[in-house]
Structure 1
Amino acid sequence: MAPSAVADLLPTSSNPAPIPSKSQDVDAMSAMAHRGKALPSIPKFASHAETRQWQLEHMAGAFRVFASEGYAEGISGHISVRDPEYEDRFWINPLGVHFGMLKASDMICVNLDGEVTGGNTAGSINAAGFQIHSAVHRARPDVHAICHTHSVCGRAWSAFAKPLDMLNQDVCYFYKAHSVYADYGGIANEASEGEKIAASLGTGKAAILLNHGLLTVGQTVDEAAYLFCLMERSCKVQLAVEAAGLQKHFVSDEEAAYNFTMASTPVSLTT
């Protein structure tokens, strides 16, 4: 575009804002915006009811994305969101409804003891899903959303029982923040299996479940769902790199840590 066409859009200050460097202590979101407005923060609402509706609508939206990405596998796979008012309750998708058909009104509210407390009370909950999600919500009060499906590349990479290598900038969002649960115990219908998965996750953002698939968490369903899609793509990249059989060049620990600090934040992963 010719300079005259953008003249009115260019800053007139002779002292433009400096570009943050790795040596500066700067807010991650401010650093991601080049001399402009930072990305918007996670929305806040005046009531629990408004927050709940926003969460459920975004939860349904995440399922539509998962459906379009081909993550559905029979009746397996679930997303849960902690209720904004009652911290011992969470919303989860009903058993047997395809990801692409789920609406906000389809979700079921259940407490950590397995009692249905609201929402689509006519629906059923996946037993294994309840064991996994209740265990993680119980162990991680900082977590508000959890995603787990049997996606293709996640299942393929899980067979190696290995964490992801820092092969590129994007996978650094999981730098020292993902684990491998290497003790497959069959369909997680027992509480003990969910507890083991939660213990393996620890304080991280994601877990690779041996012979099973992927699990991601976040402060919002948007964050957890984005991380799931990113982890699935990262598994696909890792599998392609392994298949090539050539020498791998990794992102250094210093650069990986910087990338993680700058970009792997709840706000940037929600926006």
Structure 2
Amino acid sequence: MAKTLTHSKEQLVRQALTQMQGSLADNTWSVREKLALTCRILFEHGHDSGLAGQISARGPQPGTFYTQQLGLGFDEICASNLLLVNEDLEVLEGQGMPNPANRFHSWVYRARPDVNCIIHTHPTHVAALSMLEVPLQVSHMDLCPLYEDCAFLAAWPGVPVGNEEGEIISQALGDKRAILLSHHGQLSTGTSVEQACVYAQLIERAARLQLLAMSAGTVKPISPELGREAHDWIDRPKRHAAAFAYYARQSLRGHADCLN
């Protein structure tokens, strides 16, 4: 005999969250390994655009962060070839140099103490949408972690190698988790590497769906109340960790070397 068919939605949500806490395992990879996995995951999901884009995570000391070295593609990043740099992009550990565009990461980290990982890429559908100078429209349940959580920078400030671009981008991001940058790409953040990776995956899918929907008609908005409800339901550390682990399992089938 079923016991939950008369439960309220609130009761069922609480029950599910309790089950998630006990059933979904935490990831045990190091920060370096998570970053390497993120590079390979995003490479496999359309975020590759040559040497463009940077992925970083806070380092062991304040004012430091890990990132990839300039000259390597996302599919070549390993835990062992990541760099540890300071806010001036001076290399503290590793060989080579970081992408000079990493400068704006320092500005975001300074403005947002809650951010521990930054992913900036130029995936195809995000880049195409950015050329239209229109904001991201979150109008599908799966994309709701981005609901009211994706900022928009309408004016392109140029290549982000100066401090001016760091100020502009960090201010435009505000307290949001992600931002669509006109004529440029996307930036996703997270309190964890897992969360940032999931957001980066979502924003590219959202851009693709928006372009498809716009080609067929007018995108219809969802109810703000339900959008916020779905945002909070999906945007959970345990769910992000589980999603990241799934993407990692996919990626490791062809990229096992990234954990070297």
What TM-score bracket applies, with the shorter chain setting the length? 0.7 to 0.9
In 2, Cα distance between equivalents of 1:19 and 1:248: 34
**CA shift for structure 1 position 204:** 0.7
Q: How far is the alpha carbon of 1:25 from its aligned partner?
A: 10
Instruction: Write out aligned runs for 1:15-164 (5 A).
Output: 15=3, 21-22=9-10, 30=17, 33=20, 37-41=22-26, 54-83=30-59, 85-118=60-93, 120=94, 122-128=95-101, 130-164=102-136
Match of 1:216 in 2: 188
Q: How far does residue 163 in structure 1 lie from its aligned partner after superposition? A: 2.3
- What secondary structure does 1:260 align onto? helix
Shift of 1:263: 0.9
Aligned pairs, how many? 242
CA radius of gyration, larger in: 1
Percent identity, aligned pairs only, is 30
The runs of 5 or more residues in structure 2 that have no matched partner are 243-260
1:4: which partner in 2?
none
| TM-score of the superposed pair, with normalisation by structure 1 | 0.81
What is aligned with 1:48? none
Whole-angstrom CA distance in 1 between matches of 2:61 and 2:70: 23
1:175 corresponds in structure 2 to 147
SS in 1 for 2:24: coil
* TM-score normalised per structure 2: 0.84
Note the C-alpha offset of 1:248. Answer: 3.6
Give how far 1:74 is off: 2.2
Shift in CA distance, 19/108, structure 1 to aligned 2, threshold 3 Å:
farther
Q: Distance in 2 between matches of 1:268 and 1:221?
A: 13
Distance change (3 Å), C-alpha of 1:19 and 1:206: farther
- In structure 1, the partner of 2:230 is 259
Greater RCO (CA < 8 Å, at least 6 residues apart): 2
Looking at structure 1, the residues matched to 6 and 92 of structure 2 have their Cα atoms a distance apart, in angstroms, of 52
1:89–1:224 CA distance, 2 compared to 1 (3 A): same
Q: Give the CA deviation at 1:147.
A: 0.5
Q: Distance in 2 between matches of 1:269 and 1:199?
A: 26
Amino acid at match of 1:237: L
Q: Is the 8 A contact 1:145 1:224 kept in 2?
A: yes
The structure-2 alpha-carbon separation of the partners of 1:164 and 1:29, relative to structure 1 and needing over 3 Å to count, comes to farther
> Offset at 1:75?
1.5
Hey, what's the Cα distance between the residues in 2 that align with 1:28 and 1:82? 34
- Residue pair 1:28, 1:263 contacting (<8 A) in 2 also: no
| Structure (1/2) with the larger helix percentage | 2
Once the two structures are TM-superposed, the CA of residue 40 in structure 1 deviates from its matched residue by: 3.3
The code of the aligned residue for 1:59 comes to: L
Task: Give, in whole Å, the separation in 2 of the partners of 1:133 and 1:108.
Answer: 14
Cα deviation digits, residues 145-201 of structure 1 (max 9, x gap):
010111110111112333222321022111111100122121111111012101111
| Deviation at residue 26 of structure 1 after TM alignment | 5.9
**Do the aligned residues in 2 keep the contact of 1:28 with 1:261 (CA within 8 Å)?**
no
1:38-90 CA deviation, whole Å, 9 max, x = no partner? Answer: 433566xxxxxxxxx6111111111111222232222211100102x313210
In the alignment, structure 1 segments of 5+ residues that lack a partner are: 1-12, 44-52
3-state DSSP of counterpart to 1:147:
strand
Contact preservation (8 Å) 1:139, 1:198:
yes
- Does 1:249 pair with 2:220? yes
Pairing 1:200-239 to 2, within 5 Å after superposition: 200-239=172-211
* Equivalent residues of 2:154, 2:182 under 8 A apart: yes
**Equivalent residue for 1:184?**
156
